[in-house]
């Protein structure tokens, strides 16, 4: 067997690919479903935190900052293991899917809060004043004037962060979430062949490339000349 | 052109002034920005505020709708208190239009939506009512055809006129102008001033901080000169420009007009 044939046999073995493709496809379903849930929950919670921080109520802001700093500092794998293996001993048992969802959504919310907060603070004071001078309340000005502008500024870093966090769903493998990587590495150990991992890699690219392209499109779509 | 105070008729003797400022003081840290400022603006009067930069003109204007919080003193709009803990400031602000030096249009919203936002969310008008009022307001400033444009697609003068329409659509009792033409290219100033002229002839009460001396001469019922946070003198445009009684007013005018 030539080295090229060996290469093909290791990474692109048709028999192995055919056998394990359905399992990996089911993994794709899990990864997609998890990613969507994480993005929705993480972004929503992060936006809520950034908005609450805009009220500049010191004790609340303090807790939000602490929260954001801790969840941005801790490695996700540490948190996943801590919660998955720690919580059952205090009587709380969460499924591995649930643990992965909660941890990644919390981490995303911490980053989203910081990104949106940066956006909110970068909106000129004059925008607040214009809103307030027409009789809009603080919350109305925040929601209808400031937040939409902050969101547009935040879209490029937010989409990057969303891509980064959804890739981390692969960490679910260590606690047994049946995502793409888990299916592929199981298949790899049964078959003794790396082809399933190659298929997983392809699946990730197929999944995330449109997302990356979408983020590029969003950046252009929501860019507008400064008035 | 009328430079005298409006005649006292039976109907406005009992009516409170449009805007009244009493003994207003404002500090920025230890800096005394406004010193015991008193001011009366009568109905349909255009009061023009002059003064060197840092004299407190803008601060006084911004205290009138409490974008700056006064440290002491009272402000009344049509006899209703503007200052005080119990005042619903959002309700007061609907009745006071404000135009800013830097326009402050919402860049993510079309000209129409810039106007309708407060109509919908503050006055709670229906979409159709708000749109109709916005069309009318934009038409009044000559921009009916620009309703769908984003601010970025408008010139500075057009943006400022949209900002005026946004304030006017709420049908305020007083309009505050904070250096409305200072950020404009010279050839765009005229359009904004002509809108202000129309507004004046429609009977709007206006308090204007500006450096447009010619506009003051032509349109102001009264000119006020401020320096170092205090109201130094006031009178008709003619009195202030031709025969100022205070030395500081003379110095300021000679500097801005280039005369001596």
Spell out the per-residue pLDDT of chain B, length 260, in tens.
444 445 545 555 578 999 999 999 999 999 999 999 999 999 999 999 999 999 999 999 999 999 999 999 999 999 999 999 899 999 999 999 999 999 999 999 999 999 999 999 999 999 999 999 999 999 999 999 999 999 999 999 999 999 999 999 999 999 999 999 999 998 999 999 999 999 999 999 999 999 999 999 999 999 999 999 999 999 999 999 999 999 999 999 988 876 54
Pairwise CA distance, residues B171 & B137, whole Å? 10
| A197 within domain boundaries | yes
pLDDT: is A106 or A10 the higher one?
A106
* Residue carrying structure tokens 């192995």: A16
| A194 within domain boundaries | yes
Q: Which residues contact A147 (CB under 8 A, 6 or more apart)?
A: A47, A51, A120
Is pLDDT above 50 for A110? yes
Is pLDDT above 70 for A124? yes
- pLDDT (average), residues A51-77: 96
pLDDT computed for residue A211 by the predictor? 82
Structural domain range at position A119: 3-222
Q: Which residues contact A221 (CB under 8 A, 6 or more apart)?
A: none
- How near does any CA of chain A get to the CA of B152, in Å? 4
Quick check: B104 and A134 CB within 8 A?
Answer: no
Q: Is B88 an 8 Å CB contact of chain A?
A: no
pLDDT computed for residue A225 by the predictor? 45
Is there a contact between B117 and B109 (Cβ–Cβ < 8 Å)?
yes
Residue of A nearest to B152 (CA): A227
DSSP 3-state of B107: coil
- pLDDT (average), residues A102-128: 97
Is there a contact between B192 and B215 (Cβ–Cβ < 8 Å)?
no
pLDDT computed for residue A224 by the predictor? 54
| Torsion B77-B83-B88-B94 (CA) sign | positive
Dihedral of CA atoms B147, B152, B157, B162 in degrees, nearest 10, equals: 40
Tokens of A86: 């720690």
Q: Is B180 an 8 Å CB contact of chain A?
A: no
Pairwise CA distance, residues B180 & B189, whole Å? 9
| A214 within domain boundaries | yes
Q: Is B151 an 8 Å CB contact of chain A?
A: yes
Quick check: B93 and A126 CB within 8 A?
Answer: no
Read off the CATH number of the domain in which A82 is found: 1.10.3720.10
Q: Among partner residues A124, A134, A224, which is closest to B122 by beta-carbon distance?
A: A134
Mutate to test the interface with B, among A120, A133, A149, A150 (most CBs of B within 10 A): A133
Pairwise CA distance, residues A99 & A176, whole Å? 11
| A173 within domain boundaries | yes
Quick check: A126 and B91 CB within 8 A?
Answer: no
pLDDT computed for residue A227 by the predictor? 39
φ/ψ (deg, to 5) at A28: -60, -45
- How near does any CA of chain A get to the CA of B96, in Å? 8
| A105 within domain boundaries | yes
Q: Which of B182, B209, B177 is nearest to B196 (CA)?
A: B177
Quick check: B67 and A127 CB within 8 A?
Answer: no
DSSP 3-state of A207: helix
Neighbour order of strands in the sheet with B222-227 = B96-99, B174-178, B205-209, B46-50, B222-227, B230-235
Q: Is A81 exposed, middle or buried (0-12, 13-18, 19+ CB in 10 A)?
A: middle
Quick check: A227 and B118 CB within 8 A?
Answer: no
pLDDT digits (tens, 9 = 90+) for A7-17: 888 889 889 89
Is pLDDT above 90 for A29? yes
| A211 within domain boundaries | yes
| A227 within domain boundaries | no
Q: Which residues of B124-151 are buried (b: 16+ CB within 10 A; e: fewer)?
A: ebeeeebbebbbebbebbebbebbebbb
Neighbour order of strands in the sheet with B80-81 = B31-41, B19-28, B72-77, B80-81
Q: What ipTM was assigned to the predicted interfaces of this complex?
A: 0.91
Q: Which residues contact B185 (CB under 8 A, 6 or more apart)?
A: B156, B157
Quick check: A136 and B65 CB within 8 A?
Answer: no
φ/ψ (deg, to 5) at A179: -85, -170
Tokens of B94: 């609907």
The string of DSSP letters for A47-74 reads: HHHHHHHHT--HHHHHHHHHHHHHHHHS
Q: Among partner residues A133, A135, A227, which is closest to B107 by beta-carbon distance?
A: A227
| A202 within domain boundaries | yes
Pairwise CA distance, residues A33 & B192, whole Å? 55
Quick check: B105 and A145 CB within 8 A?
Answer: no
According to DSSP, residue B5 is labeled P
Task: Pick the range with the lowest mean pLDDT from A24-38, A176-190, B1-15.
Answer: B1-15
Pairwise CA distance, residues B196 & B70, whole Å? 28
Tokens of A78: 């540490």
Q: Which of A32, A13, A33 is nearest to A21 (CA)?
A: A13
CA distances from A129 to A22, A106, B46, B219 (A): 58, 33, 23, 27
Q: Among partner residues B93, B152, B167, which is closest to A224 by beta-carbon distance?
A: B152
CA distances from A142 to A47, A132, B247 (A): 12, 10, 47
- How near does any CA of chain B get to the CA of A223, in Å? 10
Beta bridge partners of B99: B177
Residue of A nearest to B116 (CA): A134
Helix pair A147-167, A14-54: axis angle to 10 deg: 150
Q: Give chain A's domain count.
A: 1
Q: Is B107 an 8 Å CB contact of chain A?
A: yes
pLDDT computed for residue A220 by the predictor? 75
């Amino acid at each position: 067997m030539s080295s090229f044939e060996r290469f093909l046999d290791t990474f692109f073995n048709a028999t192995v690919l055919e056998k394990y493709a359905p399992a990996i496809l089911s993994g794709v379903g899990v990864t997609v479903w998890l990613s969507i849930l994480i993005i929705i929950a993480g972004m929503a919670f992060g936006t809520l935190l950034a908005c609450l921080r805009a009220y500049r109520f010191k004790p609340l802001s303090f807790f939000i900052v602490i929260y954001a700093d801790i969840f941005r500092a801790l490695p996700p794998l540490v948190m996943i293991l801590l919660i998955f293996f720690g919580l059952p001993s205090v009587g709380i048992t969460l499924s591995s899917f649930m643990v992965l969802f909660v941890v990644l959504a919390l981490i995303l919310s911490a980053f989203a809060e910081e990104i949106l907060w940066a956006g909110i603070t970068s909106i000129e004071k004059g925008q607040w004043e214009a809103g307030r001078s027409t009789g809009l309340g603080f919350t109305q000005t925040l929601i209808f004037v400031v937040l939409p502008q902050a969101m547009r500024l935040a879209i490029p870093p937010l989409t990057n962060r969303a891509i980064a966090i959804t890739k981390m769903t692969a960490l679910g493998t260590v606690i047994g979430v049946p995502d793409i990587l888990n299916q592929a590495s199981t298949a790899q150990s049964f078959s003794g062949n790396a082809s399933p991992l190659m298929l997983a890699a392809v699946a990730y690219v197929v999944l995330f490339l449109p997302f990356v392209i979408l983020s590029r499109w969003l950046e252009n779509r929501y860019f507008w000349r400064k008035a | 052109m009328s430079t005298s105070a409006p005649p006292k008729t039976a109907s406005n003797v009992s009516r409170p002034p449009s805007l009244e400022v009493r003994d207003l003081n404002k500090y920025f840290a230890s800096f005394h920005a406004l010193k015991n400022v008193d001011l009366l603006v009568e109905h349909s009067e255009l009061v023009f505020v002059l003064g060197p930069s840092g004299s407190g003109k803008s601060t006084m204007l911004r205290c009138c709708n409490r974008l700056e919080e006064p440290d002491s003193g009272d402000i009344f709009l049509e006899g209703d208190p503007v200052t005080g803990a119990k005042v619903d400031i959002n309700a007061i602000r609907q009745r006071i239009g404000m135009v800013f030096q830097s326009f402050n249009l919402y860049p993510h919203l079309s000209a129409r939506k810039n106007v309708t936002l407060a109509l919908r969310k503050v006055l709670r008008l229906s979409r159709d009512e708000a749109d109709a009022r916005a069309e009318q307001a934009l038409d009044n400033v000559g921009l009916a055809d620009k309703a769908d444009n984003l601010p970025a697609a408008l010139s500075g003068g057009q943006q400022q006129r949209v900002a005026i329409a946004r304030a006017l659509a709420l049908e305020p009792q007083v309009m505050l102008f904070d250096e409305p033409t200072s950020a404009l290219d010279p050839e765009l100033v005229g359009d904004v001033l002509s809108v202000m002229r129309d507004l004046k002839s429609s009977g709007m009460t206006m308090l204007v901080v500006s450096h447009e001396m010619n506009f003051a001469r032509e349109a102001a019922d009264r000119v006020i000169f401020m320096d170092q946070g205090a109201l130094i003198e006031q009178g008709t445009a003619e009195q202030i420009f031709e025969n100022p009684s205070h030395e500081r007013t003379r110095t300021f005018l000679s500097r801005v007009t280039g005369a001596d």
